[in-house]
Amino acid sequence: MKCLPLFLLVLPLFWREAQADTAAMSPPASAITSPTAEEEALAVNILHHIGLVSQRENHFTETRQLHALKVPLHSEGTLRFIPPDRVEKLTLTPVQDSFIMQGDTAWLRHGQTPARAVPLHMSPALQVMAATIRGPLQGDVALLQQYYTLSATGDMGRWTLTMTPRTHDTGQIVRLVQIQGRNNSLDSLHLVLANGDVTDTAITSP
């Protein structure tokens, strides 16, 4: 199956950010030059092609660099998307964790502990997170544009899609999302949160 969009890899990190005091976060990055019409059109075309792919399943490897830790965190596992809106992240190492999002609810489970349900409407940060994940999966350009300015470089054979915050509230959570891929497959994600934490993710076939 084609590569699964990578935004879902960082959902637990988004969820922790939603609980944090936004006053402690760094301000959004300074204004970025507006994309050209061609860069916007390519971004829309990329998202359209991603959204045409139905059910997805892939392997992921992830590295997180957090200010609170001296060494990066590494993990790997399986990703799934089941239309219309079910997203699953199953972390296999170093600890077995699971995340499932469907409808307005996310379920998070660590090890053998019971899963905990989190309503996505409980905070604007969780709504940003949900849109960031589901927008690309569903090819929903209008949803993403509520939160991000979209641009892309390259061509459909090999491209880089960049999402920068459109609103102040989004900028309090995310500083930059950059995805690289080919056609309707995604190969890597570079995510910078508002507090400067960085996540780099790669995916391969299962």
Residue 193, pLDDT score: 92
Q: Give yes or no for a cis peptide into 84 (omega within 30° of 0).
A: yes
Per-residue pLDDT at 6 exceeds 80: no
**H/E run at residue 10:** none
Domains of the chain plus CATH, in order, are: 6-21+35-204 (2.50.20.10)
Confidence class for position 19, pLDDT limits 50, 70, 90: very low
User: Rounded to an integer, what distance in angstroms lies between the CA atom of residue 116 and that of residue 199?
Assistant: 24
Mean pLDDT within 67-84: 91
Mean pLDDT of the chain: 84
Mean pLDDT within 70-82: 92
**H/E run at residue 180:** strand 174-182
Confidence class for position 32, pLDDT limits 50, 70, 90: low
Residue 33, pLDDT score: 75
Q: Are 86 and 32 in contact (CB under 8 A)?
A: no
Mean pLDDT within 12-17: 45
Mean pLDDT within 67-92: 91
Per-residue pLDDT at 162 exceeds 60: yes
Per-residue pLDDT at 25 exceeds 70: no
Mean pLDDT within 38-60: 93
CB atoms within 10 A of CB 53: 19
- Whole-model pTM? 0.82
**H/E run at residue 19:** helix 11-19
User: Rounded to an integer, what distance in angstroms lies between the CA atom of residue 12 and that of residue 115?
Assistant: 13
173 DSSP 8-state letter: T
Percentage of the chain with pLDDT > 90?
55
